[in-house]
Structure 1
Amino acid sequence: MKARVTIMLKDGVLDPQGEAIRHALGGLGHKGVGGVRQGKLIELDLDATDTDAAQAEVVKMCEGLLANTVIEKYSIEIV
């Protein structure tokens, strides 16, 4: 079983890396980009066979290590 965790900065948290990407895109002629938010995608291979147990385990991973929940939000997809 796989889990995909998408981690993004919370709304209202400044994203200097996203702003640098937006600026670079403008410099390359892509003028229609009003904003960019940059994040992380983490893919986990799990031994779990139960979807609910896998979801609960990945939540623990996110809360304990993968995401800084003060400034980041995360979403989990079990596949």
Structure 2
Amino acid sequence: MKATVHVMLKQGVLDPQGEAVRHALGTLGFDGVEGVRQGKIIELDLAGEDRDAAQDQVTRMCEKLLANTVIESYRIEIA
């Protein structure tokens, strides 16, 4: 079973990497980009077939390690 975790900075948290990408896009001639938020995607290969157990396990992983829940939010997809 695969789990995909999308981690992004929460709204209102300064995103200097996103701002650098927005500036670089403008420099390269891509006008009209008013904002960029940068995040990360983490893919996990999990043993077992119980989707609910996998969801619970990945949630615990996010809360303990994969996301800094003070400044980041996360979304989990189980496939």
Cα offset for 1:25? Answer: 0.2
State the AA in 1 paired with 2:47: D
Unaligned 5+ runs, structure 1: none
TM-score (norm: length of structure 1): 0.99
Residue matched to 2:12:
12
Question: Within 2, Cα distance between the matches of 1:35 and 1:11?
Answer: 12
TM-score (norm: length of structure 2): 0.99
Question: Within 1, Cα distance between the matches of 2:57 and 2:18?
Answer: 30
Root-mean-square deviation (CA, aligned residues, Å) is 0.4
Question: Within 2, Cα distance between the matches of 1:44 and 1:77?
Answer: 10
Unaligned 5+ runs, structure 2: none
Identity of aligned residues (%): 72
Aligned residue pairs: how many? 79
